Amino acid sequence: MTSIKQLDSKLYRYIVQLGQQHRLQPMALKVSASGNGPAYLYLAVACLVFDRHHESLLYAMLVAYLVELPLYFVLKNMIRRPRPCHALADGSAMIEPADKFSLPSGHTAAAFVMAASIYFVYPQLLYIAATWAVAIGLSRVVLGVHYPLDIVAGATLGIVSVLIAQQMI
């Protein structure tokens, strides 16, 4: 029987190979960068300037990030799963990761916090926000810095953080 870890490694290799075959790395770099910290700051400023519901969205995002961030750090440092680019003999990364552990994906968790927060304020934007969050997660695998299971864990962490935050608001 194939273990989850082996299946995760196989799926990682498959996604990385597809990314290489279809020359998706340049696009993956841009998508991944759209999930960096400054992007969220720009969105927050845009909300303040253009959005009549800016307070609700900003408050929802802030509370959700305050839930997600400590959980992310605790999980990442407790699990300590090496990144595929460091752990696999054939692993390589298109970018230098910020740290050496991969589970959960912080980019994906943050993207899903943003997407789920947007959904609670603007439900009509669900498909756009969710597609963007999924694309960020997949880009992290294509770039060689995460396994697919890291992405699932990050998405789960982001969504659960928003659900907890909604109960607190």
pLDDT digits (tens, 9 = 90+) for 24-39: 899 998 999 888 888 8
Asked whether the predicted pLDDT for residue 97 surpasses 90, the reply is no
Q: What percent of the chain has pLDDT over 90?
A: 56
Rounded average pLDDT over 43-59: 71
pLDDT of 1 above 50: no
pLDDT-derived band at 142, boundaries 50, 70, 90? very high
Domain architecture of the chain: domains with CATH: 24-168 (1.20.144.10)
46 contacts 144 by C-beta, under 8 angstroms: no
Q: Which two tokens stand for residue 69?
A: 């961030």
For the cut 70, the answer to whether the pLDDT of residue 99 exceeds it is yes
Q: What is the distance between the alpha carbons of residues 66 and 82, in angstroms, rounded to a whole number?
A: 25
Q: What pLDDT is recorded for position 51? A: 67
- Indicate if the pLDDT at residue 57 is higher than 50: yes
DSSP letters for 98-159: SSSB-SS-HHHHHHHHHHHHHHHH-GGGHHHHHHHHHHHHHHHHHTTS--HHHHHHHHHHHH
* pLDDT tens-digit readout, 6-20: 999 999 999 999 998
Per-residue confidence at 49, pLDDT binned at 50, 70, 90? confident
Contact 91, 84 (CB under 8 A): yes
